[in-house]
Chains A and B, each alone.
Chain A
Amino acid sequence: MDFFSNFIAGFAVALQPINLAFCFLGVFIGTLIGVLPGIGPVGTMAILLPVTYGIPPTTAIIMLAGIYYGAQYGGSTTSILVNIPGEAASVITCLDGYQMALKGRAGPALGIAAFGSFIAGTIGVIGLQLMAPPLVSVALRFGPPEYFSLMLLGFVILTYLAQKSMIKALMTAGVGVVLGTIGLDTMTGMPRFTFNIPELLDGVGLAPLAMGLFGISEILLNVEKKIKLELLTTKVRNLFPNLEDWRRSIWAILRGTGSGFFLGILPGGGAVLGSFVSYALEKRVSRHPEEFGKGAIEGVAAPESANNAAAQGAFIPLLTLGIPANVVMAILLGALMIHNITPGPMLVKEHPQLFWGVISSMYLGNIMLLVLNLPLIGLWVQLLRVPYSLLFPLILFICLIGAYVINNSAVDVAIMFIFGVLGYFMRKFDYEPAPMVLAYVLTPLLENALRQSLILSDGSFAIFMSRPISAGCLIIAAALLFSSLLPMIRKKRETLVAEAEKDD
């Protein structure tokens, strides 16, 4: 009974005009930046973070979440029509989506992507709603040592699943930890690594950091190469997939939903991994694997469903444990902290209207997205005609103004610029910026958990091994780290990565 009363209460929150309006704004912006190459959900959410200071926290999260899952919808459009993925999670959709478009079947490809996303998104929300409460009751029994070990395990899984090099992901995570310690030490009140710059006393801001690493660096990399959009001139018509299309796709959609959802829960998993894995899975179970890459509709349906389901699954660790599974969730965590709300097991109890309101808004957001993406597809296609030479100066301008208005200080703009340049080199040298931001956000929590554990245990690290949950997490983490060193498993992991890269 509890489930339904919460469900109704959530809808009452989500249906408030202001929340409805911001939900629409979120999914609209999400679709927009999903379509536009050169700017992703992370950069956009970072830019909009300062805007959310002035609105209620529930409304802010509803909008930011909308951007995230909205971008998963929009990303597929460019993959199918121009063979350029609008989002990393849509890279794999290019393979069969673009082939379908070349064969004049752009309509059904776009259609199945939208319907698949809708089905997966909705099932994902239901899964989130069912799985969150039991997890919360487990998490309530966690103390500082459990949290510390769990976060360490999270980091190891994150780097284990890193797209490129695991050791480099560990590196950027380590640097992120140091960045997270900049500012006043909350326990002793001592300034750390502030170099006597007063603006740094509050620490490096999440918005300038994320905007630099994901926004500015992206611009710098893109202006080096000329992006040429070869737009398909054929008219997109017949958006509704026929019966045969449905017969071939429906199981792909459901399988994609399942694998995407569970990979979304894992740290570092998220939408990108979900789409790759579900594509590989479809290819394996298909009775005609030779059609993949030549315009098989399952190759569009599965990854597009998976990335949407993953987007919902990723909310589970954030809302129940207070631990973000990926950078997008890290930004949501940052947004909540700005409003003095600490995500975690207490969230459901202390802020039920936020918890259930955000979840309910996702049902509505998914319906809005279906309406936005199917009838209005022509509008988004037109948008693709905006040349990058016009787009990037405007994105740059939005970043600059966004960084400035946070504290009305040029220091934030400078911080953003520094991390933009750092991000540029990191991407050139195959260091992923995502673990850095995640580590940066988690550091205050991680440090507090460590200190409290040490105080609890009177200075003995043995506390982490004497508590069963904590010990379990550490053992799994150690096993993962160790296994990545074993030649056999390393090879397996490398072929997985290579396959994923070959495909893009």
Chain B
Amino acid sequence: MNTDRVSSLFWLAVGLATLYGSVQLGLGTLREPGSGLFPFLAGVFISLVALIIFLKSFIRWRALPLDLKAHWTGVNWHRSLIICFLILGFILFLEGLGFFVTSFLLLFLIFRYVERLSWGNSIIIPVLTLGLTYLLFNVLLKSTLPKGIFGI
């Protein structure tokens, strides 16, 4: 599937959702513009531009926009996918396990299993990084990074 067609449909959905939301907010009158007026104008604009991109994708150009699949051939897309899941995990566990434990796990997993560094390096580098972070935030800046069940 043509990438421009897919992306324009996505933006069209964004535009229509904005239109719906802004009507809910109330457009007011031109004399007394309401909260929804400006987002409404933006929603109209987005939807129109999305339609133009959508229609343009049917016209043959000298160079056709790439097919959707072509963007992910020849690259290690599973690496970025793994990183995404790791960040998601970080967000979910951050407040339960605490900042330092979650960060250590994140860095360790990336170094050991994504970048395949040795066990030693995969442990030493995160420990050093987090040690410096601890000094900077908890000692120097006296800021509070979330503590977890382990009390750190």
Q: Is the CB of B35 within 8 A of A397?
A: no
Stretch of A128-136, A173-181, A265-273, A299-307 contacting B (4+ beta carbons < 8 Å): A173-181
Complex: how many Å from CA A389 to CA B115?
6
A residues 383-440 touching B (CB-CB < 8 Å)? 389-390, 393-394, 396-397, 400-401, 404-405, 408, 410, 413-414, 417, 420-421, 424-425, 428-431
Q: Is the CB of B133 within 8 A of A401?
A: yes
| Interface status of A364 (Cβ within 8 A of chain B) | no
Partner of A429, one of B4, B33, B103, B125: B4
- Category for how many chain A residues contact B: 35 or more
Q: Is the CB of A414 within 8 A of B91?
A: yes
Chain B contacts of A420 at CB under 8 A? 87
| Interface status of A290 (Cβ within 8 A of chain B) | no
Complex: how many Å from CA A139 to CA B28?
31
B14-33 CB mask vs A (1 if < 8 Å, else 0) is 11001001000100011111
| Interface status of A455 (Cβ within 8 A of chain B) | yes
Q: Is the CB of B3 within 8 A of A429?
A: yes
| Interface status of A219 (Cβ within 8 A of chain B) | yes
**CB-based A-B contact count at 8 angstroms:** 147
B97-109 CB mask vs A (1 if < 8 Å, else 0) is 0010001001100
| Interface status of A193 (Cβ within 8 A of chain B) | yes
B46-59 CB mask vs A (1 if < 8 Å, else 0) is 10011011001000
Min distance, Cβ A119 to any Cβ of chain B, angstroms: 38
Q: Is the CB of B110 within 8 A of A170?
A: no
Complex: how many Å from CA A72 to CA B111?
31
Partner of B49, one of A171, A429, A443: A171
Q: Is the CB of A400 within 8 A of B87?
A: yes
Partner of A459, one of B4, B30, B107: B30
Q: Is the CB of A193 within 8 A of B107?
A: no
Partner of B129, one of A221, A223, A397, A421: A397
Q: SS class of chain B's interface: helix, strand, loop or mixed?
A: helix
Q: Is the CB of A178 within 8 A of B90?
A: no
Chain B contacts of A459 at CB under 8 A? 29-32
Interface centre among A167, A219, A458 (most CB of B within 10 A): A167
Chain A contacts of B31 at CB under 8 A? 454-455, 458-459
Chain B contacts of A178 at CB under 8 A? 14, 18, 39, 42-43, 46
B interface, CB within 8 angstroms of A: 3-4, 7, 11, 14-15, 18, 21, 25, 29-39, 42-43, 45-46, 49-50, 52-53, 56, 65, 71, 75-77, 79-80, 83-84, 87-88, 90-91, 94-95, 99, 103, 106-107, 110-111, 114-115, 117, 125, 129, 133, 137, 143-146
Instruction: Supply 7 further A-B pairs (C-beta < 8 A) apart from A225-B76, A429-B71.
Output: A178-B14, A178-B18, A178-B46, A223-B80, A223-B114, A224-B80, A455-B31
Q: Which 8 A-B pairs have the closest CB atoms?
A: A459-B30, A459-B31, A224-B75, A389-B115, A177-B42, A174-B46, A220-B80, A185-B35
A interface, CB within 8 angstroms of B: 167-168, 170-171, 174-175, 177-178, 181, 185, 187-188, 190, 192-193, 216, 219-221, 223-226, 389-390, 393-394, 396-397, 400-401, 404-405, 408, 410, 413-414, 417, 420-421, 424-425, 428-431, 443, 446-447, 450-451, 454-455, 458-461
Residue pairs across A and B with Cβ atoms less than 8 A apart, 22 shown, are: A171-B11, A174-B46, A175-B46, A178-B39, A181-B39, A185-B35, A192-B25, A192-B39, A193-B18, A221-B80, A223-B80, A396-B87, A401-B99, A401-B133, A404-B94, A404-B145, A408-B144, A417-B88, A430-B65, A447-B38, A450-B33, A455-B33
